[in-house]
């Protein structure tokens, strides 16, 4: 009669336990920047069709494609700022939110000083606010409250 010794084994699953794996700030930030670019471009096209000129005091008008380009570029700058704050700031989320709100408010200055009529200026300010409302919460949610 042969004797075999059985060694107790633990049953482990091959797949790790489900965890809420968080993606880096930049992945969500890029997606939010693209979404904000689409939103501002569509809203600018609707406003233009409704009669908003987007022309400054010299008569030069902002092309509709310019809304997509500038929204994307400046949103990505914001994402870059958030990525730096995620690594360097003691309180990344509140620091980013305060900075983003201040920069959004500063973005209204050209709208108010470049000679746009009231309707154009109000629409541009609204578009800046829409872009910030898409990008800032998306990015801020990815940042830690404290490090």
**How many other β-carbons are positioned within 10 Å of the β-carbon of residue 77?**
12
Q: Is 26 exposed, middle or buried (0-12, 13-18, 19+ CB in 10 A)?
A: middle
The pTM for the full model equals: 0.82
User: Given this model, what pLDDT does residue 19 score?
Assistant: 36
27, 95 in Cβ contact below 8 A? no
Nearest to 78 by CA among 145, 146, 131, 123: 131
User: Given this model, what pLDDT does residue 24 score?
Assistant: 82
User: Given this model, what pLDDT does residue 67 score?
Assistant: 98
pLDDT tens digits for range 21-70: 445 899 999 999 999 999 999 999 999 999 999 999 899 999 999 999 99
Confidence class for position 16, pLDDT limits 50, 70, 90: very low
Nearest to 80 by CA among 124, 29, 122: 29
User: Given this model, what pLDDT does residue 33 score?
Assistant: 98
Nearest to 100 by CA among 45, 36, 47, 44: 36
Spatial separation of the C-alpha atoms in residues 66 and 124, rounded to whole Å: 12
pLDDT tens digits for range 90-113: 999 999 999 999 999 999 999 999
């Amino acid at each position: 009669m042969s004797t075999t010794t059985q060694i107790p084994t633990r049953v482990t699953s091959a797949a790790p336990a489900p965890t809420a794996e968080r993606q880096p700030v930049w992945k969500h930030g890029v997606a939010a920047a693209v979404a904000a670019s689409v939103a501002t471009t569509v809203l600018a096209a609707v406003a233009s069709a409704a009669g908003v000129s987007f022309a400054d005091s010299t008569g030069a008008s902002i092309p509709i494609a310019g809304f997509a380009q500038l929204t994307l570029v400046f949103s990505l700058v914001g994402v870059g700022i958030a990525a730096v704050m995620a690594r360097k700031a003691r309180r990344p989320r509140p620091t980013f939110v305060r900075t983003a709100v201040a920069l959004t408010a500063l973005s209204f200055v050209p709208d108010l000083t470049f000679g746009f009529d009231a309707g154009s200026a109000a629409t541009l300010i609204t578009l800046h606010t829409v872009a910030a409302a898409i990008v800032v919460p998306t990015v801020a949610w990815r940042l830690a409250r404290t490090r």
